[in-house]
């Protein structure tokens, strides 16, 4: 049984009220979804909100099996993260409060890889979305355009600018600026 | 980027160019250093993002996510209970407390007679012997501002 089939079944069982199936689905994808959400919003709390809404929305949304369950969940997550950001903006927190500093994480000490949240934090929300969808989930331009409800040309230009900004930041970091 | 074909490099890199255009761009890349440099930069960005570390949720968050449907149901029940309590309190307030506060004073009776004095007050002293049923009707309609004129 492939992982995709198993995910399908877990999703179906979760929808019929099987709480253990839901827990297993979260065990498989929850950490990844949280990590992606954390690169799209400004705090752990907002990331948890976005993932929770994503998982609950997944119990109601139609899964057409064109993409893997995980990619499909990331698509829902990106929209939920945008809603969380809008909610925070309405509450004027984002406008008036500095971004919360990331908590020191025990994993930081042993993992020298770059942190995706830090890497993307200088990008606009629109640019973060396309980077996540393209670079992590390998979505096509048309899939992203449908998901984000913008023209394909907008996706191309956002992706180009986002990558250009990441490249510039990376070279500035290398040059010690 | 100086090359006029550089705008196609990203689409080529992402596999979004039709096959004919992709083949032409591959030939172009062989002789264009600028476009090759752009292609290398796109690869470097992809590698950096794909190998970046994702933040992990706390154990508390993991537990909450695992039980999200049940927690949401409980939250909905609490919200509904709160709403019902508030509605019940509003009904009690509207039924018992507010009418008591706004109620007209009980009719006073003139000494030695059954005719209510309040009748005189209400109807401009025209007739103290206004039947009580008329008075009751008047009180019931007391939210209407214009006073009734009652023929004796």
Residues 6+ apart with CB under 8 A from B108: B116, B117, B118
**Confidence class of residue A107 from pLDDT cuts 50, 70 and 90?**
low
The Cα–Cα gap between A109 and B112 comes to 99
- What residues pair up with B109 in beta bridges, in sequence order? B116
- Please work out, in degrees rounded to the nearest 5, the angle formed at the alpha carbon of residue A153 by the alpha carbons of A81 and A124: 35
Which residue among A48, A105, A163 places its CB closest to the CB of B61? A48
Contacts made by residues A6-11, CB under 8 angstroms, sequence distance 24+: A7/A68, A7/A69, A7/A70, A8/A63, A8/A65, A8/A69, A10/A69, A11/A58, A11/A63, A11/A69
pLDDT of residue B14: 96
Region A160-170: what's the mean pLDDT? Answer: 92
Residue spans of alpha helices (H) in chain B: 6-13, 19-31, 33-51, 59-66, 68-92, 98-102, 117-122, 132-140
* DSSP classification of residue A68: -
pLDDT of residue B146: 46
Region B50-71: what's the mean pLDDT? Answer: 94
Q: Is the pLDDT of residue A53 over 90?
A: yes
Residues 6+ apart with CB under 8 A from A148: A78, A129, A130, A155
Most confident among A89-103, B74-88, B134-148 (mean pLDDT): B74-88
Q: Is the pLDDT of residue B55 over 50?
A: yes
pLDDT of residue A142: 96
Name the closest residue on chain B to residue A57, using Cα atoms: B69
- CB pair distance less than 8 Å for A113 and B53: yes
Evaluate whether ipTM surpasses 0.90. no
Query: Measured between alpha carbons, how far is residue A124 from residues A158, A162, B118, B134 in Å?
Result: 10, 8, 75, 74
CB contact residues (below 8 A), chain B span 47-76, against chain A: 48-58, 61-62, 64-70, 72
Region B119-126: what's the mean pLDDT? Answer: 48
Tell me the three state secondary structure of residue A107: helix
Helix A44-58 and helix B68-92, axial crossing angle in degrees, nearest 10: 90
Mutation target among B18, B52, B76 for the A interface, most CBs of A within 10 A: B52
Q: pLDDT higher for B106 or B73? A: B73
Region B102-122: what's the mean pLDDT? Answer: 55
B57 touches B68 (CB < 8 A): no
User: Which residues of chain B neighbour A31 with C-beta distances below 8 Å?
Assistant: 54, 56-57, 62
Region B130-140: what's the mean pLDDT? Answer: 56
- CB pair distance less than 8 Å for A36 and B54: yes
pLDDT of residue A20: 92
Q: Is the pLDDT of residue A116 over 70?
A: yes
* DSSP classification of residue B34: H
The Cα–Cα gap between A148 and A69 comes to 18
Q: pLDDT higher for B38 or A94? A: B38
Name the closest residue on chain A to residue B67, using Cα atoms: A23
CA of B5 to nearest chain A CA: how many angstroms apart?
14
Q: How many CB pairs under 8 A join A and B?
A: 117
- CB pair distance less than 8 Å for A107 and B64: no
Q: What are phi and psi of B126, to 5 degrees?
A: -70, -40
**Confidence class of residue B149 from pLDDT cuts 50, 70 and 90?**
very low
Both structure tokens of B111: 């000494």
pLDDT of residue B119: 47
pLDDT of residue B147: 46
Sign of the torsion formed by the C-alpha atoms of B15, B18, B23 and B27:
negative
């Amino acid at each position: 049984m492939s992982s995709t089939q198993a995910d399908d079944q877990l999703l179906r069982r979760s929808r019929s009220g099987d709480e253990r199936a839901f827990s297993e689905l979260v065990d498989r994808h929850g950490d990844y979804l949280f990590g992606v959400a954390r690169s799209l919003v400004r705090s752990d709390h907002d990331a948890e909100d976005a993932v929770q809404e994503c998982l609950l929305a997944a119990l109601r949304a139609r899964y057409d099996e064109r993409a893997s369950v995980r990619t499909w969940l990331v698509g829902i997550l990106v929209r939920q993260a945008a809603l969380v950001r809008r909610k925070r903006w309405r509450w004027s927190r984002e406008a008036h409060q500095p971004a919360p500093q990331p908590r020191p994480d025990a994993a930081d000490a042993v993992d020298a890889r770059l942190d995706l949240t830090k890497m993307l934090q200088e990008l606009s929300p629109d640019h973060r979305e396309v980077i996540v969808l393209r670079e992590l989930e390998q979505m096509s331009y048309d899939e992203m355009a449908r998901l984000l409800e913008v023209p394909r040309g907008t996706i191309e230009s956002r992706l180009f600018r986002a990558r250009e900004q990441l490249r510039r930041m990376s070279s500035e970091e290398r040059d010690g600026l | 980027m100086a090359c006029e074909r550089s705008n196609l490099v990203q689409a080529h890199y992402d596999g979004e160019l039709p096959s004919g255009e992709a083949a032409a761009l591959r030939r172009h890349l062989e002789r264009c250093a600028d476009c090759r440099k752009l292609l290398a930069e796109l690869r470097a960005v992809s590698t950096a993002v794909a190998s970046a570390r994702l933040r992990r949720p706390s154990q508390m968050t993991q537990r909450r996510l695992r039980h999200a449907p049940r927690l949401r149901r409980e939250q909905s029940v609490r919200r509904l209970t709160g709403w019902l309590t508030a509605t019940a309190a509003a009904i009690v307030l509207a039924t018992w407390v507010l009418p008591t506060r706004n109620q007209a004073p009980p009719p006073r009776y003139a000494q030695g007679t059954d005719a209510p004095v309040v009748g005189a007050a209400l109807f401009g002293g025209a007739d103290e012997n206004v039947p009580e049923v008329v008075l009751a009707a008047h009180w019931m309609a007391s939210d209407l501002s214009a006073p009734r004129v009652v023929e004796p």
